Chains A and B, each alone.
Chain A
C-alpha cells in the first residue's frame, strides 16, 4: 500500500519514539492526546474539572506504562481502555456520592461507557448485546468478523474475498463494522443503557 506523503509529516514515529524514551516525543504525544481525551471525558461526565482530572489520570497511567506496555493491538485501544476505566470509576464514585446526598445528577449518562445503571461494568450485558448485534448483521459480515477475530493476516483476508482489491475489502469491513456498531447502539438505547 502506498501512503500519501502528508501522512509522514509531524506525527510519524511519534509513538515509537515516545515508547523509546524520547522526551520531546513524549511531550508532543502528551499534547496531542490530552486535548482529545479531555474532550471525550467532558462528553461523558459533564463536569469540566472532573473531566480534566480524568484526562490527567488517564495520561499519567499511559505514560507510566508506555515504555514497557506490549501494545499488541496498537496504542489507541489501550488508551481507550484506560480512559473508560477512569470514567467508569468516576461515575461510580459520583453516583454513590449523589445517592448518599439524596440527589442524582440527571445529566450523567451511562450508555456510552459500557456501564449499567447500577454503575458496574456490564460485561454480561455487553456480551449479550454483541451476540444480538452479530445476529442482526449479514452472514457475510459475520464471516468478516470471524476472519478478523481469527487474527489471520491481510493477505488471507483478501484471499477470502476472492482476491478483490484491498480498497474493496476494506470498504466491506468498514461497512460491517458500522452495521455492527449501529445495531449495538440501537440495542443499548432499547435497554436504556
Chain B
C-alpha cells in the first residue's frame, strides 16, 4: 500500500509537465507506464486534456498576454538571479521564443532588476529532514489530528508538499492551538513557494511552541521572512533567537553576521 501511494505520489507530480511535453524520455516512459495502471492519473489527464491541448495550440497568442503581464513588472518568486539566468538562456535559444517575445522578456529582466527582488532571500535555508520528529506523539494531540500529521509527514518526505499542506491545514483547523500543526503547515507552504501564506502559520507556531520546538520554529520563521523580503522582521527574530543557546542560536548568530546591520 505504501509502495502504491508512494508511486502514485511520485508520478502524479510529473503529470503537469507531461501534459506540456516537459518530461525527459525516461520520465515520460515511466509516467505513461504508471498512467496505464492508475485510474486517478488517467482521470486527471483526461480532465486537463482539453485545456492543455488548447493552451499549447494557442501558445503564441498566450505568449502575448504573458509578455504584457511581465512587461507590467510582475515579480516572480525568489531566486531572481538564477531565474534571470534561466530566462536569458531561454531567450538565447532561437527555437524557443520569437524575437519580439525575446525583446519583451529582456524588458522584463530590466524591469525586475529595477523593481528589485528580496535582496537576502538567497540566504534563507529550511530544514528538510526530521519532519516526522516534529509530530506530537503525546497527549497534546487527538488521534485524528495526529493521523493527519502523520499522513502529511509522509507526503512531505516524498516532496509532495501540496498534499502535505492539505493534511497539515486540516490538522490546524481541528486544533488551532497546536504549534506543531502550524509549524508543519508553514514549512510545507514555504516549500511550495508560498512563503507569504506561510508567515501567519509560522508566527503562530513560534508563539505557541513549547521550549523544545520554539528555536526551530523561530529559525524557520526568520528564514521565511528573509525569503519574503522582510529582512527587518527576520533580523528581529534572529536577534532574539541568537541570545539563547544551542544549534539554532548558533545558526542565528551566523546568519545575522551575513545580514546588513
Partner of B36, one of A1, A14, A81: A14
User: Given that A146-B63, A146-B66 are known contacts, is A7 also in contact with B7, CB under 8 Å in the complex?
Assistant: yes
* Cα(A163)–Cα(B85), bound, Å: 11
**Interface membership of A16, Cβ < 8 A:** yes
Partner of B24, one of A14, A127, A154, A171: A154
User: Given that A7-B33, A73-B21 are known contacts, is A127 also in contact with B54, CB under 8 Å in the complex?
Assistant: yes
Q: Which residue of A lies closest to B73 (CB)?
A: A139
Question: Do B69 and A168 have beta carbons less than 8 Å apart?
Answer: no
Listed in ascending order, the chain B residues whose CB lies under 8 Å from chain A are 3-4, 6-7, 10-24, 26-37, 39, 42-43, 45-56, 58-59, 61-63, 65-66, 69-70, 74-83, 85-87, 89-90, 93, 95-97, 122, 158-162, 191-193
A12-40 CB contacts (< 8 Å) to partner B: 12-16, 29, 32-33, 36, 40
Question: Do B30 and A77 have beta carbons less than 8 Å apart?
Answer: no
**Interface membership of A164, Cβ < 8 A:** yes
Q: Which of B23, B32, B61 has the most CB of A within 10 A?
A: B32
Report chain B residues within 8 Å CB of A161: 77, 79, 82-83, 193
User: Given that A77-B53, A126-B50, A162-B83 are known contacts, is A171 also in contact with B191, CB under 8 Å in the complex?
Assistant: yes
Q: Which residue of A lies closest to B75 (CB)?
A: A139
Q: Per DSSP, are chain A's interface residues mostly helix, strand or loop, or mixed?
A: helix
Question: Do A167 and B159 have beta carbons less than 8 Å apart?
Answer: yes
Report chain B residues within 8 Å CB of A162: 77-83, 122
Question: Do B22 and A84 have beta carbons less than 8 Å apart?
Answer: no
CB<8 Å pairs between A and B, sample of 13: A4-B3, A4-B10, A13-B33, A74-B31, A84-B50, A154-B22, A159-B82, A160-B76, A162-B80, A165-B159, A168-B192, A175-B192, A181-B47
User: Given that A15-B32, A156-B89 are known contacts, is A148 also in contact with B17, CB under 8 Å in the complex?
Assistant: yes
A-B contact count (CB 8 A): 237
User: Given that A76-B49, A159-B82 are known contacts, is A172 also in contact with B58, CB under 8 Å in the complex?
Assistant: no
Report B55 CB to chain A, min CB distance, Å: 6
Question: Do A77 and B32 have beta carbons less than 8 Å apart?
Answer: no
Question: Do B162 and A11 have beta carbons less than 8 Å apart?
Answer: no
Q: Which residue of A lies closest to B159 (CB)?
A: A167
Report B192 CB to chain A, min CB distance, Å: 5
Report chain A residues within 8 Å CB of B51: 130, 133, 180-181, 184
Q: Which residue of A lies closest to B59 (CB)?
A: A149
Give the A interface residue count (CB, 8 A).
76
Report chain A residues within 8 Å CB of B53: 77, 80-81
Partner of B54, one of A126, A151, A158: A126
User: Given that A74-B18, A80-B49 are known contacts, is A8 also in contact with B33, CB under 8 Å in the complex?
Assistant: yes
* Cα(A133)–Cα(B65), bound, Å: 12
Q: Which residue of B lies closest to A31 (CB)?
A: B36
New A-B contacts (14) at CB < 8 Å, excluding given A80-B45, A171-B191, A172-B193:
A11-B34, A77-B45, A81-B49, A123-B54, A130-B54, A139-B69, A146-B62, A149-B59, A152-B90, A157-B86, A159-B89, A170-B13, A171-B13, A174-B162
Q: Which residue of A lies closest to B84 (CB)?
A: A160
Report chain B residues within 8 Å CB of A160: 76, 82-83, 86-87, 90
**Interface membership of A113, Cβ < 8 A:** yes
Report chain B residues within 8 Å CB of A33: 36
Question: Do A171 and B96 have beta carbons less than 8 Å apart?
Answer: no
User: Given that A7-B34, A84-B50 are known contacts, is A156 also in contact with B90, CB under 8 Å in the complex?
Assistant: yes
Q: Which of B33, B37, B89, B191 has the most CB of A within 10 A?
A: B33
Report chain B residues within 8 Å CB of A140: 76-77, 193
Q: Which of A29, A146, A151 has the most CB of B within 10 A?
A: A146
Report chain B residues within 8 Å CB of A170: 13-14, 16-17, 159
Report chain B residues within 8 Å CB of A156: 86, 89-90
